[in-house]
Structure 1
Amino acid sequence: MNTLRRTLLLGAAVSLAGCAALKTLSIEVRSFGQMPAGKTTYAFERLPSQQQPLSRAAEWEALAAPALAKAGLKPAPAGSPPDLIVALGARVSATALSPWDDPLWYRWNAPLYHWRFGMPPHSHPMFIERRYEREVGVLLRDRATGQALWEARASNDGATQGGDGMIAALFEAALADYPKANPQPHEVRVTLP
């Protein structure tokens, strides 16, 4: 019985580790600037395009707030001026890829499939793959002077749009270097909740 119990516990641990690995994202990050000490409060700024009725700016702010808190920043109390102004950006763009974009397209047996069934190579949707590029940007400016102090971009790509959890993870990765900067593209690993 004791051996069976250990085996079940080991199996559960392996399953949980496998699930965690599936939820861990590899995100490319670059950050720039130099952050002076003592600036800890912020307020969001929205560009004119982010003030339009269909803008997702309020959603981005809600998704970025936990990452800002993890970086040691907090919203300015009501009625008091913030130290920093935070501008956010996010985009998800789709790219349709064809197997012929790859010089080794024969690995999908595309010609064999089409010759066998008499279909022109470009007519079957099974050979079109859609990739999504996801990116966020964070800009911190000094409220008093308007000077840009620190900037970061985080991006990754995949087979799905990713949803709000993905955008939140990108904001977390973008702020992982804060308050330091690392302009070289580098990988940050983030685990989705």
Structure 2
Amino acid sequence: MKLPRRLALLGALSLLAGCALLKTISAEVRSFGNWPEGRAAGSYAFERLPSQQQPLSRAAEWEALAAPALAKAGFKPVAPGAQPDVIVALGVRVSATATSPWDDPLWSRWNAPLYHWRFGLPPHRHPLFIERSYEREVGVLLRDRTSGQPLFEARASSEGATPGGDELIGGLFEAALRDFPKAQPQPHRVQVLLP
């Protein structure tokens, strides 16, 4: 194979690898519980808390995002009119934190008054210097339908410069259930390739 062809092939492979990295999230996961030895995943139904039954709730969207992760863990939706084996409760939280380089209490020692004059706003109020970070977290609780006993709980979280979106939330649900049925209470990293 000639050198230009090899370089073109190498470039294409590098581009594909770069695209895969952009679609990969790293989540911190913790899971708890005692899933009964030998018990199959079985069928499930979602349970909504009273706050998730309000008109502006996104519970139905979260359920749609969690369904593929539940399927990968071996669960299937309950058939209409049948009783599920487990009840699934979901939670999603996205919180933003705004920070400024001038949040450091020693900033005034480094000529901060010049920045007041130059930008016309106090430095901690200037929009060019406000940095936002987002923490995204999902939680999944699986309870036995008959006894109501919690069997498995998992949480997955990630941080980033954007709130993310539905793909990212779905990826966090997948990360949360990756270890199922094994519980791992210590925080550990899970990589998920987003669709």
TM-score surpassing 0.5? yes
2:47 maps to a residue whose letter is E
Please give the secondary structure, in 1, of the residue aligned with 2:74: coil
Q: For 1:34-73, what aligned pairs fall within 5 Å after superposition?
A: 34-36=34-36, 37-73=39-75
Please give the secondary structure, in 2, of the residue aligned with 1:7: helix
Long gaps (5+) in structure 2: none
Superposed CA RMSD: 2.2
Partner of 2:24 in structure 1? Answer: 24
- 1:105/1:10 CA distance change after superposition, 3 Å: farther
Q: For 1:10-159, what aligned pairs fall within 5 Å after superposition?
A: 10-36=10-36, 37-101=39-103, 111=112, 114=115, 117=118, 119=120, 120-159=122-161
Long gaps (5+) in structure 1: none
2:118 maps to a residue whose letter is F
Deviations along 1:171-193, one digit per CA (max 9) or x if unpaired, are 00000110110000110011122
Deviations along 1:105-142, one digit per CA (max 9) or x if unpaired, are 79xx9849717726432242111111111100000000
- What is the rounded CA distance, in whole Å, between the counterparts of 2:98 and 2:112 in structure 1? 20
- 1:53/1:10 CA distance change after superposition, 3 Å: same
TM-score, normalised with respect to structure 1: 0.91
Residues 44 and 88 of structure 2 are in contact (CA less than 8 Å); yes or no, is this contact kept in structure 1? yes
1:49 maps to a residue whose letter is S
- What is the rounded CA distance, in whole Å, between the counterparts of 1:9 and 1:116 in structure 2? 54
TM-score, normalised with respect to structure 2: 0.90
Deviations along 1:140-173, one digit per CA (max 9) or x if unpaired, are 0000000111100111111111010110011000
Aligned residues: 191
- What is the rounded CA distance, in whole Å, between the counterparts of 1:83 and 1:160 in structure 2? 37
- What is the rounded CA distance, in whole Å, between the counterparts of 1:110 and 1:98 in structure 2? 16
- What is the rounded CA distance, in whole Å, between the counterparts of 1:94 and 1:82 in structure 2? 37
Shift of 1:26: 1.0
Residues 110 and 121 of structure 1 are in contact (CA less than 8 Å); yes or no, is this contact kept in structure 2? no
- The percent of aligned pairs where both chains have the same amino acid is 69
